[in-house]
Amino acid sequence: MAIQWFPGHMAKARREVSEKLKLVDIIFELLDARIPVSSANPMLDEIIQQKPRIKLLNKADMADPIMTSRWLDKFSGENTSVLAIDAQSGKGLDKMVKLAEQILQPKWERKRAKGIKPRAIRAMIVGIPNVGKSTLINRLAGKNIAKTGNTPGVTKAQAWIKVGKSMELLDTPGILWPKFEDEEVGYKLALTGAIKDTILNLQDVAVFSLRFLEAHYTEALKARYKLDEIPEDIVALFDHIGRLRGCLRAGGEIDYDKTADIIIRDIRGQKLGPLTFDTL
């Protein structure tokens, strides 16, 4: 279920994350590896303030591996701790605890010096809807406990999941809103399934996708839709794909809604291979 974000929802989500924040030592900020910037919450820095954070580029299996390594380089160059993971298969998750231990080591050392026995690191996961929070929590817990849903405001007692010997994870994630005031970010969020299809016009999302593919994944676009050359005119490109895929109305006219839907499904279903939509 995707939520419509209104100012009231945002304020409530923010309050909930701030409350949970008090309980933890470190935050795992879950991002979509295909859109590592567009899937970030614009206000997270302000919400978490100085709390240590690890960025996790999830769904790395669906992202362009060359771009993922460039994003990892970029973020680590900014003195940020970052990992690429695939919560569905569990790839990369073994590094999460180790990295958290490294980051918190100075704090733990200070505690030890004061004679305080170190306890398990407490962590929480935050991220926008559909980025894979429940999948990750379930993976780490080894069982099905996190509620797969995006409803903010479902309050229940906080419970901790043991992750290895040295970490405890809040069993409910912090749900944050995506930034979709920017048109292009909105299209990317729709393409990766972070916002409901009904929020944006599907033909607009498809036009954005085709233009993006033409600029960044030309060969994949040509191969998928059997194109020798990519027509400059977007309607001609739609016509070609519509005809190729049998999206016709009675009378032989191209059904543009159906064509748009097919293009978006192809991209989401990785029919054009792994793709990354945030460029650098």
Binding letters toward ligand G4P, positions 77-106, x by CB under 6 A: ---------xxx------------------
Point out the residue whose Cβ comes nearest to ligand G4P: 132
Distances (CA, A) of 65 to 54, 85, 241, 273: 20, 12, 27, 11
Q: Is 134 in the site for ligand G4P (CB under 6 A)?
A: yes
- Measured CA to CA, the distance from residue 106 to residue 219 in angstroms comes to 49
Nearer to ligand G4P, 1 or 250 (CB): 1
Minimum distance from CB of 42 to ligand G4P (Å)? Answer: 17
Pick from 69, 15, 20: nearest CA to 43: 15
**Of the two residues 39 and 81, which places its CB atom closer to ligand G4P in the complex?**
39
Q: Is 22 annotated as a binding residue?
A: no
Subset of residues 52 to 71 that bind ligand G4P, contact rule: CB under 6 A:
58-59, 61-62
Distances (CA, A) of 141 to 87, 135, 172, 240, 252: 12, 10, 12, 48, 53
Is 79 annotated as contributing to ligand binding? no
What dihedral angle (degrees, nearest 10) is formed by the CA atoms of 151, 153, 157, 159?
Answer: 40
Does 192 bind ligand G4P (CB under 6 A)? Our answer is: no
DSSP 130-187: TSSHHHHHHHHHTSS-S-----TT------EEEETTTEEEESSPEE-----SSHHHHH
Cα(276)–Cα(225) distance, integer angstroms: 19
Looking at 130, 172, 192, 259, which residue binds ligand G4P (CB under 6 A)? 130
Nearer to ligand G4P, 132 or 178 (CB): 132
Q: Do the annotations mark residue 215 as ligand-binding? A: no
Contact set with ligand G4P (CB under 6 A): 58-59, 61-62, 86-88, 127, 129-135, 148, 150
Q: Which residues are annotated as a binding site for GTP?
A: 58-61, 130-135, 174
Q: Which residues are annotated as a binding site?
A: 58-61, 130-135, 174
